[in-house]
Amino acid sequence: MIWRKIGLFAAATAVIGSAALPARAADAALPARAADDGQVLFNNACRTCHSIKAGDNRLGPSLHAVVGRPAGTIPGYGYSSALKDTKLTWDKSTLDRFIADPNAVAPGNSMKPYGGLASESDRAAVIAYLESAAN
């Protein structure tokens, strides 16, 4: 009986305590959570061909510090002409569109058989992960 009362008290305290958190503290956790989710999504959808380690080019180029980098510019990587000759910069918007549908952004790219991530929240999480991994 006493353990049940202690358990109920602990649960109530946790609920009340979490409700009292300032909004800023809760909001600060969102990017970290998105990056964590993004790592799982990256591992499932991207890691077969890409790495986030600088200089670790695989079937696809390293995505280390990709946000803000001009497309097709890692020295020594054999980009398709679709990416090598483009004038794209990998900002969040361009990455979002490319991760959704690579062929719509850079027709003739070498991303086959990858067809894109349909979920906007999944793409945002992957981009958050790519940003966090560059630090």
Q: Is 116 left (phi over 0), alpha (psi -120 to 50) or beta?
A: left
How would you class 90 by CB atoms within 10 Å of its CB: exposed for 0-12, middle for 13-18, buried for 19 or more?
Answer: buried
List, for residues 68-118, the tens digit of each pLDDT value.
999 999 999 999 999 999 999 999 999 999 999 999 999 999 998 999 999
Q: How confident is the model at residue 1 (pLDDT cuts 50, 70, 90)?
A: very low
- Which pLDDT value is given to residue 23? 35
Question: 28-133 has which fold?
Answer: Cytochrome Bc1 Complex; Chain D, domain 2 (1.10.760)
In 12-134, beta strands by DSSP E: none
DSSP SS3 for 113: coil
* Burial degree of 135 (CB within 10 A; 0-12, 13-18, 19+): exposed
Distance, in Å, from the CA atom of 53 to the CA atom of 62, rounded to the nearest integer, reads 6
Q: Are 101 and 111 in contact (CB under 8 A)?
A: no
Q: Is the pLDDT of residue 19 over 90?
A: no
Please tell me the predicted confidence (pLDDT) of residue 31.
55
Give residue 8's pLDDT band: very low, low, confident or very high (50, 70, 90). Answer: very low
Strands annotated E in 2-135: none
Token pair recorded at residue 86:
């483009």
- Look at 19 and 119; give whichever has higher pLDDT: 119
Identify whether 113 is preceded by a cis peptide bond (ω within 30 of 0): yes
Residue 128 is predicted with a pLDDT of 95
Do 38 and 44 meet the contact criterion of CB atoms below 8 Å apart?
A: no
pLDDT score at 32: 58
Report the percentage of the chain scoring pLDDT > 90: 69
DSSP state of 21: S
Q: What is the pTM of this model?
A: 0.74
